[in-house]
Amino acid sequence: MQFSDRMSLLGTESAFEVLAKAKKLEAEGKKIVHLEIGEPDFDTPNNICDAGVKAIQDGQTHYCPSGGLPDARKVVAEYISKTRNVSVGAENVVIMPGAKPVIFNVIFAAINAGDEVIVPNPGYPIYESVVNYVGAKPVMMHLKEENDFRFDTDELKALITPKTKMIIINSPQNPTGGILTKEDLETICQLAVDNDLWILTDEIYSRIVYDVPFESILQIPGAKERTIIIDGMSKTYAMTGWRLGYGVMPESMANYQTQLAINNFSCTATFAQYALMEALTGQQNDVEMMINEFKKRRDVIVSGLNSIDGVSCLTPLGAFYAFANITKTGMSSAEFAKFAMEQAGVACLSGTAFGKYGEGYARFSYANSIENIELAINNIKLNLAKV
Ligand code: PLP
């Protein structure tokens, strides 16, 4: 059978492949510490589960409007208005089965073949993959360690051409844990206004910040009419398996997103949206507990990584990833990830899973217990000494 040519353009997210390899080694009896997948190890808070269960028992098991339940869209609009300090309405919100479909569908709706889209690199691989898939060209915005994994303004300006249609940003960032400052966001917004660009801002880690406040580009004057916020429930509320995300955008874009939903998945699970409403409006103690715990783990993993000969790591300001520089081990990123898995029993991701500028790095997700993080560090240290 034959497949469409465009399938060869689609990339992947290698965290899932590394997880499968780790599971295979475990099935063969090897012990593996999982620091590869970007998934909170906590359970979804009880109040949220209860709301989902109650909705099922109340019969909320049918189709609902494709853009989301009106009440759920309103709750998201109020949440975004409060957390981003700017007023948006339910008509600006579309609820989708995860943040990923928002990335896919927004690029699909905004970008033509031949257009250019500026993407962070190292960065979440799905942006580059989807931009390629629609026949457009991903243009790499190099995030360098010496800039705290933020972009260089002059370099960014030089990337913009008449073909540029969108800038994608992600702060707090996967894989580096870097955060863009308000000045950075002002620069992006000005460039977008001057060049009439869309801004796609992936804010899925907006609540997982340490030591610094979260800033959204939406609050910068001029941004609202050209910005799509991506956020969702997976990371903040430990709800990865519920498949619940949303986008906040100009109404014209929201209408196209609804049309794409009609054509693709009809609607997001109705009962799950009751859980979303409880998550955003109910008690936030569990979220605070998770963030405090992540912060403790961050400190353990960063000091642990820095204690390994040949490895160094900046302190991430958000998300739950440590992006360690491994160049002084003499290994490439792929070699290091292979060594970590096969010899040290630690699953982590090669920096190149996040693009070519990830060479020289490895990403460790610290969504795991302090005990396991310490075990991983010790195993890497011991085994690296033998290499
Ligand atoms: N955006 C970023 C930056 C991510 O790291 C992830 C998950 O790893 C997603 C989006 C996808 O989130 P969801 O599970 O809501 O589809």
pLDDT tens per residue, range 351-365: 999 999 999 999 999
For residue 319, give the ligand 1 atom closest to its CA: 5
- Same structural domain for residues 226 and 245? yes
Question: Considering the chain, what is the average pLDDT of its residues?
Answer: 96
Amino acid code (one letter) for 70:
P
What confidence tens digit (pLDDT) does each residue in 90-112 have?
Answer: 999 999 999 999 999 999 999 99
CATH of the domain at 154: 3.40.640.10
Cβ within 8 Å of residue 19, ≥6 positions away: 34, 36, 37, 347
Judge if 202 and 311 occupy the same domain.
no
Name the nearest CA neighbour of 238 among 201, 202, 270, 284: 284
How far apart, in whole angstroms, are the C-alpha atoms of residue 254 and residue 260?
Answer: 10
Residues 316, 265 within the same domain: no
24 and 60 in one domain?
no
Q: Is 323 in the pocket of ligand 1 (CB under 6 A)?
A: no
- Sign of torsion over alpha carbons 60, 64, 68, 70: negative
- Same domain for 236 and 209, yes or no, is yes
> Is there a single domain that holds both residue 315 and residue 223?
no
Residues pairing with 364 in the sheet: 322
Residues 82 and 156 in one domain: yes
For ligand 1, mutation pick of 94, 124, 323 (most atoms within 8 Å of CB): 124
Task: Indicate if 312 and 258 belong to the same structural domain.
Answer: no
From 238, 258, 281, the end of a domain falls on 281
Does the CA dihedral 56-62-67-70 come out positive or negative? Answer: negative
Give percent of the chain with pLDDT exceeding 70.
Answer: 100
Residue 234 beta carbon below 6 angstroms from any ligand 1 atom: yes
3-class state of residue 118 by DSSP: strand
Same domain, 20 and 164: no
Residue whose C-alpha is closest to residue 240's, from 365, 78, 93: 365
**Final residue of a structural domain among 249, 281, 313:** 281
**Ligand 1 atom at minimum distance from 100 CA:** 16
Cβ 174 under 6 angstroms from ligand 1: yes
* pLDDT value at residue 53: 98
Strands in the chain per DSSP E: 33-34, 93-96, 116-121, 137-142, 164-170, 198-202, 227-232, 245-248, 312-313, 321-325, 346-347, 349-350, 361-365
pTM: 0.97
Domain residues for the domain of 77 are 46-281
Lowest mean pLDDT among 4-18, 186-200, 292-306, 309-323: 4-18
The Å distance, Cα 314 to ligand 1 centre, comes to 22
Tell me which of 241, 265, 281 is where a domain ends.
Answer: 281
Count, residues in the chain: 387
Question: How many whole angstroms from 38 Cα to the centroid of ligand 1?
Answer: 8
Instruction: Quote the CA–CA distance of 318 and 174 in Å, as a whole number.
Output: 9
Distance 253 CA to ligand 1 centre (A): 21
One domain, residues 204 and 322: no
pLDDT in tens, 270-301: 999 999 999 999 999 999 999 999 999 999 99
Q: Are residues 211 and 298 in the same domain?
A: no
Strand partners for 313 = 324
**Edge-to-edge strand ranges of the sheet holding 361-365:** 312-313, 321-325, 361-365, 349-350
pLDDT at 12 over 90: no
Tracing tokens 């966001």 back to the chain, one arrives at 185
Q: Give the mutation target among 18, 170, 179, 204 for probing the ligand 1 site: most ligand atoms within 8 A of CB.
A: 204
| Residue owning the nearest CA to atom 5 of ligand 1 | 174
Q: Is the CB of 240 under 6 A from ligand 1?
A: yes
| Per-residue DSSP letter, 363 | E
Among protein residues, the one whose CA lies closest to atom 12 of ligand 1: 99
Sign of the alpha-carbon torsion through 197, 93, 103, 63: negative
At 140, list the tokens. Answer: 């790499």
* Residue whose pair of structure tokens reads 């033509």 in the numeric block: 112
Q: How many domains does the chain have?
A: 2
| Whether the predicted pLDDT of 16 surpasses 90 | no
Task: From the CA of 38, give the closest atom in ligand 1.
Answer: 8
Give the distance (Å) from ligand 1 centre to CA of residue 109.
Answer: 19
- SS3 assignment for 342-358: HCCCEECEEHHHHCHHH
Domain holding 362: CATH number?
3.90.1150.10
Same domain, 127 and 273: yes
